[in-house]
């Protein structure tokens, strides 16, 4: 397991920006060999910043670093004969090909799905688009901010006006869904002996995480609005001011509510708050009662008392706090890699661990995000000698 559960899988990554690179990186985190094919100009995200780090003549985008660990980089001009020949050689040996070109672009380059499967019938092809590979808006470009709005997530997020999530969640979810689909297709290939096409999109990722907000409309006929910092269906469940920093409380059951009442001296028989539907209907009054109590002490005081009472609660951590938190470190969520120009750098790692291996993603060593074309020579040499 030290090499990861996908250590026998070869992935050709034709993607750029974030959704596709995220999918390929997740496969690499699990041990797959990922060869990232870049145009001579490189992945767009290599120029996304600031911040940039490293020597002035070799500045590296921290955005690119976030989505391209555990990959090799080769540069190919896919409009040239040489570029097409090298890609054909890679496809013949690959288990997976990931692409997130606009619909029809790969076909025009001479690598339609039919052609890819002529080269390698066992190939699993992952295609990630903005709005789906078919339908009336299939050819729209896919950008996270647009997808968050078009996919409804922004209509649920914020307090006074629609707000995007603080990370490119549409891209990230599309990548996660894509990696999930690839693993399923690889499993199926053991039975069938042939690969298939896996398709997902930024739009699909957004709709797929509507969860209970989606069924509020599809089943109950309610159009959800901005959720703000409080749960629309549970109370108290949200962010509350204290004498210092805000804290979060999650009373997801009647028993937890009664524990909170006992700890804070609230009358559990108050008809406004007797049941969860009552508390949701009178949320503003409930928030006012709680914040009046919480104003008397700082956040740490209340977090200690709530923990003692068994009421789920927590602080709102900044990222510097998260990455130095003992619990984060105990879960091996950070990895150290050796970068050609940056030296030892620390990156957020895989979210997965396996029961017999403490390492992130199940692999003991991880590769730093590559320099542009760093593996041109080694990959071409390998192709010339590989069976």
Question: Cβ-count burial of 288 within 10 angstroms (0-12 exposed, 13-18 middle, 19+ buried)?
Answer: exposed
Find where tokens 């019938």 sit. Answer: 121
> Which residues fall within 8 angstroms of residue 342, CB to CB, at 6 or more apart?
53, 54, 60, 368
On whether the CB atoms of residues 243 and 295 are closer than 8 A, the answer is: yes
Catalytic residue among 13, 29, 95, 171: 171
**Cα angle value 87/91/92 (rounded, 5°):** 120
CA atoms of 282 and 324, how far apart (whole Å): 39
Active site residue 270: no
For residue 343, the 8-state DSSP code is E
Contact residues for 378 (Cβ-Cβ < 8 A; gap 6+): 72
- Give the span between the Cα atoms of 184 and 181, in whole angstroms: 5
Report d(CA 98, CA 88) in Å as an integer: 14
Q: Which residues are catalytic?
A: 171
């Amino acid at each position: 397991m030290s090499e990861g559960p996908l250590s026998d899988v070869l992935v050709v990554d034709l993607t750029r920006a974030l959704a596709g690179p995220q999918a390929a990186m997740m496969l690499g985190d699990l041990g797959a060999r990922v060869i990232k094919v870049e145009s001579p100009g490189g992945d767009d995200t290599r120029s996304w910043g600031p911040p940039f780090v490293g020597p002035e003549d070799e500045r590296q985008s921290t955005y690119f670093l976030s989505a391209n660990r555990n990959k090799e980089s080769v540069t190919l001009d896919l409009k040239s004969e040489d570029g097409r020949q090298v890609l054909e050689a890679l496809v013949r040996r690959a288990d997976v090909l990931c692409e997130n070109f606009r619909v029809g672009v790969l076909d025009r380059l001479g690598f339609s799905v039919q052609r890819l499967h002529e080269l390698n019938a066992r190939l699993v092809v992952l295609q990630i688009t903005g709005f789906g590979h078919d339908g009336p808006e299939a050819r729209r470009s896919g950008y996270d901010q647009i997808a968050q709005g078009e996919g409804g997530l922004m209509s649920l997020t914020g307090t006074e006006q629609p707000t995007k999530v603080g990370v490119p969640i549409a891209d990230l979810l599309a990548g996660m869904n894509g990696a999930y689909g690839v693993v399923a297709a690889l499993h199926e290939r053991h039975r069938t002996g042939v690969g298939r096409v896996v398709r997902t999109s930024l739009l699909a990722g957004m709709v797929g995480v509507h969860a209970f907000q989606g069924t509020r409309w599809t089943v109950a006929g309610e159009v959800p609005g901005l959720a703000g910092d409080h749960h629309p269906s549970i109370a108290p469940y949200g962010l509350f001011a204290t004498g210092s920093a805000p804290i979060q409380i999650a009373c997801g059951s009647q028993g937890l509510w009664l524990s909170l009442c006992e700890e804070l001296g609230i009358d559990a028989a108050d008809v406004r708050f007797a049941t969860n539907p009552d508390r949701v209907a009178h949320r503003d009054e409930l928030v006012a009662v709680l914040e009046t109590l919480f104003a008397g002490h700082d956040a740490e005081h209340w977090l200690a008392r709530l923990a003692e009472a068994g009421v789920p609660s927590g602080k709102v951590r900044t990222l510097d706090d998260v990455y130095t938190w003992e619990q984060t470190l105990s879960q091996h969520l950070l990895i150290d890699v050796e970068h050609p120009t940056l030296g030892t750098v620390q990156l957020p790692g895989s979210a997965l661990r396996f029961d017999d291996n403490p390492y992130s993603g199940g692999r003991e060593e991880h590769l730093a995000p590559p320099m542009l074309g760093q593996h041109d020579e080694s990959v071409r040499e390998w192709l010339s000698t590989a069976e």
